[in-house]
Amino acid sequence: MSLRVGDSRSAPSGECRAEAVHGDRSRYCTFFLGDLLFGIEVERVQEILRPQQMTPVPLAPPVVRGLINIRGQIVTAIDLARRLSLEPSLDTTRAMTVVVNFRRRTVSMLVDGIGEVLECDRSSFERPPDTLAGPIRDLIRGAFKLDERLLLLLDVDRVIQFPGSAEEAVA
């Protein structure tokens, strides 16, 4: 399954658009958790998958939803909403798995839906909004203002280094 382009909830506007990169612009894979729009650098994304069958992991931290098998590779599945201390989505019909690379390892993040790949002007990048409070604030690198919403840039490295994870010990 490849990225879905044209999600009606994420129409690009403002300083971001769905096109090729030029000069001081970066591309971000966008996805939703509830009504919030998040993004990560396209280079970090290995692939986007439909929900996979998961094997629960006894005694794992609560953010670990389980393990999935991607073409013979066992990958940890992180419940991103739980990791960001957000309410879980009640609508799982659009749920997807964003598979990312982290320190030569592969990790999957469960999200509510996929948006577009947006190109954003780096000069329009801002610090995390003051309205973000709690654990989510430490996991957001900043934001891009779009006409109708914010694109919150996720710090993938910090998201994956949660209390009790093997990556926390390496960090």
Beta pairing partners, 74: 69
Q: How would you list the strands of the sheet with 73-79, edge to edge?
A: 45-49, 96-102, 105-111, 73-79, 64-70
Query: What phi and psi values does residue 5 have, to the nearest 5 degrees?
Result: -105, 140
Cβ-based burial of 39 (10 A; exposed 0-12, middle 13-18, buried ≥19): buried
Cβ-based burial of 125 (10 A; exposed 0-12, middle 13-18, buried ≥19): middle
Alpha helices in the chain (DSSP H): 80-83, 135-138, 156-160, 166-170
Beta pairing partners, 120: 16, 26
8-166 belongs to CATH 2.40.50.180: yes
Comparing C-alpha atoms, which of 36, 38, 18 is closest to residue 27? 18
Q: What is the pLDDT of residue 131?
A: 86
Q: What is the pLDDT of residue 45?
A: 96
Q: What is the pLDDT of residue 93?
A: 75
Q: What is the pLDDT of residue 132?
A: 85
> Per residue of the chain (171 residues), what is the pLDDT tens digit?
333 333 434 434 455 655 444 568 899 999 999 999 999 999 999 999 998 999 999 999 999 999 999 999 999 999 999 999 998 877 777 889 999 988 888 999 999 999 999 999 888 899 988 888 888 999 999 999 888 889 999 999 999 887 766 554 334
Q: What length does the chain have?
A: 171
Residue-range domain boundaries for the chain:
8-166
pTM exceeds cut of 0.95:
no
